[in-house]
Chains A and B, each alone.
Chain A
Amino acid sequence: MSAAYLSARGLGVRLGARDLIAGVSFDLPRGCLAAVIGPNGAGKTTLLRALAGLVPSRGEIRVGGGDAAALSIRERALRFAYLPQGHAVHWPLPVRDVVALGRYPHGATDPANLPRRDAEAVARAIAAADLGALADRPVTELSGGEKARVALARVLAVEAPVVLADEPIASLDPRYQLDVMALLRETALGGALVLVVTHDLGLAARFADRVLVLKDGRLIEAGAPAAALSPEVLAHAFHIGAFRAEHDGAPVLVPWVAP
């Protein structure tokens, strides 16, 4: 793996007297799909929000060789594209206008008057998420899977070096889950660092280059899927075992508790 693009050192987020996450340190390169896994309440969402600069955090975050804390809101938005959980859009805007909002940090604040460079980025994102046929439909009329792809296209349109996706495949049917993970994989191959929070250990095992395992706000394991999803780690983090196999050269992992 190449040099680290995103590094955290002793990253912590405190809410009142409680540490949501504490002492989280990792290094991740570009071109990498990293899955963030852990039990409910382990601090996965908090970690992404801290990286995106949406909650005040302690410790150090370095991105592209610079201190993230020194970035303005807009500079940070150019480096971190954040996909929140739930991906709601509150007005029935046409799909292409929603995707065009991803160009806001680049200064293209009006979807109706996009500079050529931004219009092309929007077109690329729409094509990548396979939304060409839906581009003029109001986003509120779409199915859940289509809405998820719109939300993803909006994040891809930022064309940021780091993509933070919080449970992008929750509540999607299996086909869309695979499509979305494949799309995130492609994004990573294109040179971005993609962090995906997911509860699907099978998809993490199959698609991720790195796996970060959080438990009670601590990073208990970070590494290649084979090591980070080992029986010991799963037993410690989730109190579960797993069925393991290989199919078409890819690892298969199914969470399993002995009956």
Chain B
Amino acid sequence: MRVVRSQFRGCPRNCKRRADIEATERERSGRRWRPRPASQETGRRFNVTCGGGSAEDVILQVPHTDSAVTVAEHAPRRRWPVATLALFSLAALLAVLSLGAGPVALAPDTVTAALFGAGTEPHRIIVQEIRLPRAVLALAIGAILGLSGAALQGLLRNPLASPALFGAPQAAAFGAVVVIATGLADALSFALPVAAIAAAFVSVFVLLAVAGRNANLLILILAGLALSALAGAGTSLAVNLAPNPYAALEITFWLLGSLEDRSFQHVALALPFILAGAAILFANRNALRTLSLGEEAAQSLGVDVGRLRLAVIAGVALGVGGAVAVSGTIGFIGLVAPHLARPLLGYDPARLLLPSAAIGAALLLAADIAVRLIPATTDIKVGVLTAIIGVPFFLYLIVRDRRSLTGGLS
């Protein structure tokens, strides 16, 4: 007989061991298991049959002596503050690195000096006026894409959901393309983002009007799909009717998604919308958690599901509309970020929002650094890179989770 001294601290493995012990004991005694006061449990010995043979476990410590039923902390939950902070630190680190990356490579100390007004004039211009707005946009846009993806996956209870599902980015892109094609963008630089945000709003309002206030998710998804197709067709038409090849080329390049040559004007225009969208989504996090039980159960718990759905869609439209307006369409970050967060932090939709935002920001920053470092005669657009890396990764996720994905949508 092998003597195993297990200390129960609440980590999943030990919890499981404890669960095994209790199950074994319950089977042996043949009656309902009743929790005992911790004082009676400490020091008890159990013979547990496991895999290769039998073992003896001694309970050395039972957490929370005041409660008969253990209230041990679940490991992902305990890890949450540290992991979230670490992910945001990673995003911040990448933001600093992105200030140094480009045709003129700058060391971190040069970057820091230039950022705070020291260093040479060209360095200050490169860091403060060219690369800082780009880094801020990558941070904000990546974060709102990750946050929107996590919120929509929570709302739809489907790990395949993404902002693109509701047609918002496609509509925003269509709005922007119309402005480019008609030449308004040159005359009035602010027309481009304004049109994109307006189109995102219109698409969401049309979506809700078509689907009705209490529509089920299937109807919303179908209506969203139809709207994306319509926006895509509108965009193609704009390219088709472009007055000259240069306009068509400009549209096509803009659609690829990029953060190049963005100024603080772009930041000022996109950031308020992104922040407003993020605030709405984050404020509804706990209601999203109740949706894990389905819409009826959530409603019976006092959640106004119709209002929640409206809030999430409005938050996504605000954030994604603002983002697409200045960056073009950058895909797959909203889809992939929550998947990267889950193995670290569990599946709770509410607790995935902030980590997904941090991962989204880190992903977009990394991609935006990568396009500057890849040697190519023409600049590679960051939207192209996120799709090239994102799609195979996502396919891998689908294959990995194939079994659990079926039946995810009610």
> Which residues of chain A have a CB within 8 Å of any CB of chain B?
49, 52-54, 73-74, 76-78, 80-84, 86, 88-94, 96-98, 101-102, 104-105, 109-112, 119-120, 123, 126-127, 130, 132-138, 140, 154, 158
Which of B32, B80, B292 is in CB contact (< 8 Å) with A101?
B292
What 10 A-B pairs have minimum CB-CB distances, sorted nearest first?
A77-B302, A82-B300, A109-B286, A74-B302, A90-B157, A91-B347, A133-B22, A136-B15, A105-B302, A123-B69
Q: Is B77 an interface residue (CB 8 A)?
A: yes
A84 engages B294 (CB within 8 Å)? yes
Which of A82, A89, A120 is in CB contact (< 8 Å) with B292?
A89
B12 engages A136 (CB within 8 Å)? yes
- Cα-based distance from A79 to B10 in the complex (angstroms): 34
Within the complex, the shortest CB–CB distance from B149 to chain A, in Å, comes to 15
B71 engages A119 (CB within 8 Å)? yes
Which of A53, A93, A134 is in CB contact (< 8 Å) with B19?
A134
Find residues 296-343 in chain B having any chain A CB closer than 8 Å to their own CB: 296-297, 299-304
> Do A135 and B70 form a contact, CB below 8 Å, given A109-B286, A127-B35, A140-B404?
yes
Q: A78-B302, A83-B297, A96-B74 are in contact. List 15 more A-B contacts (CB 8 A).
A: A73-B302, A77-B300, A90-B157, A90-B294, A91-B157, A91-B292, A93-B292, A93-B347, A101-B289, A104-B303, A111-B348, A123-B69, A136-B72, A137-B16, A154-B297
B348 engages A90 (CB within 8 Å)? no
Q: Is B23 an interface residue (CB 8 A)?
A: yes
Q: How large is the interface on B (under 10, 10 to 19, 20 to 34, 35 or more residues)?
A: 35 or more
B347 engages A92 (CB within 8 Å)? yes
Which of A53, A93, A98, A109 is in CB contact (< 8 Å) with B346?
A93
Chain B, residues 66-79, CB within 8 Å of chain A (1/0): the string is 01111110100100
With CB as the reference atom, state the residue of chain B lying closest to A90: B157
Q: Is B350 an interface residue (CB 8 A)?
A: yes
- Cα-based distance from A105 to B287 in the complex (angstroms): 11
Q: Which residues of B contact A120 (CB under 8 A)?
A: 67
Chain B, residues 2-21, CB within 8 Å of chain A (1/0): the string is 00000000101001101100
A54 engages B300 (CB within 8 Å)? yes
> Which residues of chain B have a CB within 8 Å of any CB of chain A?
10, 12, 15-16, 18-19, 22-23, 26, 32-35, 67-72, 74, 77, 80, 157, 286-287, 289-294, 296-297, 299-304, 346-351, 404, 408, 410
> Do A132 and B77 form a contact, CB below 8 Å, given A54-B299, A73-B304, A98-B292?
no
Which of B19, B74, B287, B349 is in CB contact (< 8 Å) with A133?
B19
Q: Which residues of A contact B33 (CB under 8 A)?
A: 130, 132-133
Within the complex, the shortest CB–CB distance from A101 to chain B, in Å, comes to 6
With CB as the reference atom, state the residue of chain A lying closest to B73: A112
Within the complex, the shortest CB–CB distance from B123 to chain A, in Å, comes to 46
- Cα-based distance from A89 to B10 in the complex (angstroms): 23
- Cα-based distance from A81 to B22 in the complex (angstroms): 30
- Cα-based distance from A90 to B35 in the complex (angstroms): 29
Which of A96, A104, A130, A132 is in CB contact (< 8 Å) with B302?
A104
- Cα-based distance from A134 to B23 in the complex (angstroms): 9
B293 engages A101 (CB within 8 Å)? yes
A133 engages B26 (CB within 8 Å)? yes
- Cα-based distance from A47 to B297 in the complex (angstroms): 15
B293 engages A76 (CB within 8 Å)? no
- Cα-based distance from A52 to B305 in the complex (angstroms): 14
Q: Which residues of B contact A140 (CB under 8 A)?
A: 404
Which of A80, A132, A135 is in CB contact (< 8 Å) with B300?
A80
